[in-house]
Amino acid sequence: MNFTLRVWRQPNSRTPGRLESYPARNIDPNMSFLEMLDVVNEQLTLENREPIAFDHDCREGICGMCSLVIDGEAHGPEERVTSCQIYMRSFKDGATITVEPFRSKAFPILKDLIVDRSALDRIIQSGGFISVNTGQAPDANALPIGKDLAEQAFDVAHCIGCGACVAACKNASAMLFVSAKVTHLGLLPQGQPERDRRVRAMVSTMDAEHFGNCTNQYECEAVCPKGISAANIARLNRDYALASLKGMFTKKSESAGGG
């Protein structure tokens, strides 16, 4: 198969980028999209041109590092997969394929298709955890948790933090990401003591990191490689409102940051 790639090239975060065209020739339909990029990069290297920079690591859809917008869709044309799990047989021979980075003010472009997603880490750092030091835990079976609850918690805990939700949202909102963690820890009994301060801290960090707002269009759940439902955002809204309401009627404690 042969393709024409239009790839976003940008030397660094300060210099403006643009789309450049590259041919991709003799591509095996069973190549993954990233392997196709590897082939193009090998060619560029041999021509003494700079290869296309893109993030990737596990190449099996779990690490969340790969982050391409392929033909306008975060993680490409297939459902419930990451960019590394897209195979070239999904494209028509001879097609022109546009490859862009995840675009968001919160994700500055570092180079070509690589963006800085540390804003997501900072959201977790502000409250996306249960405060328990090593060695403090009671016996694991001391606290029974219903099977259904555990399964629901897993569904949201499965988030890989890739940021495709932000990339796909027309407002570059991170609410699906935040709601996944708030729901995961909020569902479990272990997460209850910090539930209110967690949601308030995480939302406040999210806002400070310049993510947009949710306008309830659910593009995020359509591209989520782990199929996390946007209904979790409703839960986030509810948790946040209740936590704020409680906050209004209780004596002020210290700030919620850092746990």
Partner 1 sequence: MTQLDAKIPSGPLAQKWDRHRAAIKLVSPTNKRKFEILVVGSGLAGASAAATLAEQGYSVKCFCFQDSPRRAHSIAAQGGINAAKNYQNDGDSIYRLFYDTIKGGDFRSREANVYRLAQVSVNIIDHCVAQGVPFAREYGGLLANRSFGGAQVSRTFYARGATGQQLLLGAYQALSRQIGLKQVQMIPRADMLELVLVDGQAKGIVVRDSVTGKISSHSGDAVVLATGGYGNVFNLSTYARGSNATAIWRAYKKGALFANPCFTQIHPTCIPVSGDYQSKLTLMSESLRNDGRCWVPKKAGDKRAADAIPEEERDYYLERLYPSYGNLAPRDISSRAAKRVCDEGRGVGPSGLGVYLDFSDALKRLGEATIRERYGNLFDIYHEITGENAYQAPMRIYPAIHYTMGGLWVDYNLMSNVPGLFVVGEANFSDHGANRLGASALMQGLADGYFVLPYTIGHYLAGSKKVKPSVESAEFRQAESETEARIARLLGIRGKRTVSDIHKQLGKILWENCGMARNRQGLQDALQKIPALREEFWGGVTVPGEGKDLNQSLEKALRVADFLELGELLCRDALAREESCGCHLREEYQTPEGECKRNDEEYAYAAAWQYAGETSAPVLCKEPLIYEELPMATRSYK
Partner 2 sequence: MFKQFVASSLGRKYLMALTGTILFSFMVVHMLGNFQVLLGPEQINTYAHMLQSKKPLLWSFRLFLGLMALTHITVGIWLWLDNRRARPDHYRQERTQQAGLASRTMIYSGALILAFFVYHILHFTLRWLNPEFAGFTGRIPGVEEPVADVYRMMNQGFFDAGVSLTYIVAVALLAWHLSHGIPSLFQSLGLRNDAVSRFLDRFGWAVAFLLFLGLSIIPAALFAAVRGAIYLR
138-177 residues in contact with partner 2 (CB under 8 A) are 168, 170-173, 175
**Using an 8 Å Cβ cutoff, are 127 and 193 in contact?**
no
Which residues, 65 to 94, sit near partner 1 by CB under 8 A?
65, 81, 85, 87, 89
Residue 187 sits in the site that holds partner 2 (CB under 8 A): no
**Using rule CB under 8 A, residue 228 touches partner 2:** no
Cα distance between residue 226 and residue 64, in whole Å: 10
Yes or no: say if 24 and 36 are a contact pair by the CB < 8 Å rule: yes
Per-residue CA distances from 254 to 162, 199, 251, 257, 259 (Å): 32, 15, 10, 9, 11
Q: Which of 64, 223, 225, 226 binds partner 2 (CB under 8 A)?
A: 223
Residue 17 CB, nearest approach to partner 2 (Å): 9
Contact 3, 90 (CB under 8 A): no
Q: Site size for partner 1, by CB under 8 A?
A: 81
Decide: is 239 part of the binding site for partner 2 (CB under 8 A). Answer: yes
E strand map for the chain: 3-9, 18-24, 68-70, 73-74, 96-101, 109-111, 114-115
Residue 60 lies near partner 1 (rule: CB under 8 A) = yes
The mark string for 99-128 relative to partner 1 (x by CB under 8 A, - otherwise) is: -----------xx--x-xxx-xx--xxxxx
Q: How many CB atoms lie within 10 A of CB 169?
A: 24
Beta-carbon contacts of residue 72 (< 8 Å; ≥ 6 apart): 98
Residue from 20, 42, 93, 207 that binds partner 1 (CB under 8 A)? Answer: 42
Selected range binding partner 2 among 29-37, 56-64, 97-105, 186-194, rule: CB under 8 A:
97-105
Q: Which stretch binds partner 1 (CB under 8 A): 138-146, 168-176, 208-216, 243-251?
A: 138-146
Q: For residues 66 and 69, which CB has a smaller minimum distance to partner 2 in the complex?
A: 69
Rounded Cα gap, residues 33 and 31, in angstroms: 6
Candidate list 20, 28, 93, 207; residue touching partner 1; CB under 8 A: 28
172 binds, among partner 1, partner 2, none (CB under 5 to 8 A by kind): partner 2
By CB under 8 A, tell whether 212 contacts partner 2: yes
Binding flag, residue 150, partner 1 (CB under 8 A): yes
Q: In what order do the strands lie in the sheet with 73-74?
A: 18-24, 3-9, 96-101, 68-70, 73-74
User: For tokens 């946040």, what's the residue?
Assistant: 240
Question: Smallest Cα–Cα separation from 56: which of 5, 99, 119, 3?
Answer: 99
Check binding of 191 to partner 1 (CB under 8 A): yes
- Choice from 40, 69, 88, 201 touching partner 2 (CB under 8 A): 69
Which one among 4, 90, 98, 190 touches partner 2, defined by CB under 8 A?
Answer: 98
Asked if 16 interacts with partner 1 (CB under 8 A), we say no
